[in-house]
Amino acid sequence: MLKFPPIKTIAAALSSSFQLSSKSHRISSSALTRLRRSFTAITAAMGDDSGMDAVQRRLMFDDECILVDESDNVVGHDTKYNCHLMENIEKGNMLHRAFSVFLFNSKYELLLQQRSGTKVTFPLVWTNTCCSHPLHRESELIPENSLGVRNAAQRKLLDELGIPAEDVPVDQFTPLGRMLYKAPSDGKWGEHELDYLLFIVRDVAVSPNPDEVADIKYVNQEQLKELLRKADAGEEGLKLSPWFRLVVDNFLFKWWDHVQRGTLPEAIDMKTIHKLI
């Protein structure tokens, strides 16, 4: 009986072959992207990821994150799957652009979400309103006034929380700052992101997508402090996302005060990239 090499070995060899042939046959970058997605999906299906939720699997292989250097210059793109494998992150070449939205209602309460249990990274943790990635597409690569990131934030608020685009106009997002961080999730998965921190004050209609969100709640400052206390004490199994905790510990409450005073523009600092690794 013939003995074939492992599927991962075959996929890697084919991928290398196509990369080499592209130089002489001018295979388009879009074709190579599709091939890379296919090979990644094959190896995942044959490995430990065969039980991955179907929706999360589609997002992991279809979404192309924007790779950046530590100065936030675009250096490439890769699948969400590859960008969140800890083995790739540790190699130091998967830093990608992200955003974290903090949405307040007219009572200045902050909307929090609990991530769905089917999420690949950090399932069932509590976090800020919405955390995701601008994708490698024209509308989300626009650098002027962080427009690409704001477009992505509007898209994901609809995807995750069912918030209509007209409830969160892109010109109402205030980019306050950027931070760079790295965080492991479960050993296999993790995050290494250059994260744009966006604030918005709007009363919105919310209809959470259960594939993305397990629960939501609005909190005032005192209620959030109680959540922090419970998380620190390990009560009720409550956990917070690492990026949310970094924002809480370094920026959130002073920026929240600016929201309540109507002086948020005074807090804007988009020149500094805070390295919180």
Supply the residues annotated as catalytic: 131, 193
How many C-beta atoms surround the C-beta of residue 186 within 10 A?
A: 11
C-alpha Rg value of the chain to the nearest Å:
20
Burial (CB < 10 A; 0-12, 13-18, 19+), residue 222, is exposed
**Angle (CA) 246 64 212, round 5°:** 60
Structural contact between residues 192 and 69, judged by C-beta atoms closer than 8 angstroms? no
Q: What's the CA gap between 253 and 103, in Å, rounded?
A: 14
Structural contact between residues 169 and 217, judged by C-beta atoms closer than 8 angstroms? no
